[in-house]
Amino acid sequence: MPELPEVETVARDLRPRLVGATVAGARCTWPRTLRTHDPLTFGDAIGGRTVESVGRRAKQLVIALSGEAALTIHLKMTGQLFVVPAETLVDPYVRLILELADGRELRFRDIRKFGRVGLYGRDPASGELVAELGGTALFAAIGPEPLADEFTVREFRRRLRRRKGRLKPLLL
């Protein structure tokens, strides 16, 4: 499983390639890749949306889309993402293809088939990603973002003071 710095590197690499691109459709060759939709409805749900930003939350890539939606991608052990011209030969390990309106494709390649992709909406009240309106926030159980400005040494100390035990389990 890629560690957080590697996922951050993938997000930074994809950002200039994808922001502003419009998704025309999608093709899925391994249905279990999709967390939230079946392959037949996924293309319709994501088609016509424009990529607004590419970021990361924990070890998941978060691609914010127009229409208050976001695509989350967890690479797991062997997942890789490539932006290629549509005419590029398709590798047998490509599990999902997002067709972009400009003739390129975002391809999710995953040899071991552990990676997962989900399309989520944003709750209008909280702004959090949710599978359904009024549902639990997708990242509710995930701790603070270590690279966020709000996560200071003072905040780290405050969180550790409340806990007793071995250091490694506390950090995880």
**What is the per-residue DSSP string for 59-105?**
TEEEEEETTTEEEEEE-TTTEEEEEEETTSPPPTTEEEEEEETTSEE
Mapping DSSP to helix (H, G, I), strand (E, B) and coil, where does residue 161 land? helix
Task: Output the CA torsion sign for 145, 150, 152, 158.
Answer: negative
Residue with tokens 């293809």: 97
**pTM (two decimals):** 0.88
Q: Which two tokens stand for residue 68?
A: 């208050």
pLDDT score, position 160: 81
Of 82-86, 94-98, 154-158, minimum mean pLDDT range: 154-158
pLDDT-derived band at 132 (thresholds 50, 70, 90) equals: low
Given this model, what pLDDT does residue 165 score? Answer: 80
Q: CATH number of the domain at 4-141, out of 1.10.10.60, 3.40.47.10, 3.30.1330.60, 3.20.190.10? A: 3.20.190.10
Largest CA distance in the chain: 57
